[in-house]
Amino acid sequence: MSTAQIHIHRAVMDDSLREAAATRAWLAERRLKMFNFIGSPGAGKTALLEALADALAGRLKFAVIEGDCATARDAERVAARGISAIQIVTGDGCHLPAAAVHQALADLPGGMDCILVENVGNLVCPAAFDIGETAKIAVLSVTEGEDKPLKYPGLFRKAGALVLTKTDLLPHLRFNMDTCRQAIRQINSAAPLFELSAKTGTGVAALADWLQAQTNPILQA
């Protein structure tokens, strides 16, 4: 018995990429932007969305898609700030699948300017799966240590913007901000870096301004 070679040259993420492309087309039709917030559990992603709800109130209408392995706690937290939020429960899934995000789009209210997605807390897997977002936003808290970008370069390389959270805790930590900035720049030399505290509000405005500029470039002109 001999063997035959069948050359197929087909993307491993075939299905996932198709769903992501469908989401991208859906967003383009409605002139909507979508930002995919990715970071470890406890990096402060939900607190950041809460702070953005306050900072963007009255100037940018956004809805939130939340991803977690269990519970609707994050969607409830965001909804408490008057933001429309949809929770996707992934069970054992370590990231938000493109298909689940695409399905959730149908449940979003109209009249939005953009969609903020909070992916499942994880520095690795969510970065590997395109969900059709305009940009990935890497979220790292200063309590995680300044070397994390070098240890998990995938996310930091792909991110269109980088956020360092919990800067109010810096006086209590050994965290070296320059070392961290340098680590980030070795991986991603171009994306804007926002250093902020969702708790005190310091630095949140700069990220809010950036999101608005990305969302409404025409109105800005």
- How far apart are alpha carbons 206 and 180 in whole angstroms? 19
Enumerate residues 15-34 that contact another protein by CB under 8 A: 15-16
Which residues, at least 6 apart from 52, have a Cβ–Cβ distance to it below 8 Å? 62, 116, 204, 207, 208, 211
Q: How many CA atoms lie within 13 A of 107 on its CB side?
A: 13
Nearer to another protein, 90 or 216 (CB): 90
**Contact between 96 and another protein per CB under 8 A:** no
**Contact between 128 and another protein per CB under 8 A:** yes
**Contact between 106 and another protein per CB under 8 A:** no
Build a one-symbol-per-residue string for 159-178: x at contacts with another protein by CB under 8 A, - elsewhere. Answer: --------------------
Torsion sign, CA atoms 156, 159, 163, 165: negative
Can you tell me which of 89, 94, 108, 193 binds another protein, judged by CB under 8 A? 94
**Contact window for another protein (CB under 8 A) among 22-30, 36-44, 70-78, 151-159:** 151-159
- How far apart are alpha carbons 192 and 100 in whole angstroms? 29
Nearer to another protein, 9 or 172 (CB): 9
Work out the angle between the directed axes of helices 98-105 and 14-29 (0-180°, nearest 10). 30
Residues in touch with another protein (CB under 8 A): 1-16, 93-95, 124-125, 128-129, 149-151, 153-154, 156-157, 185-190
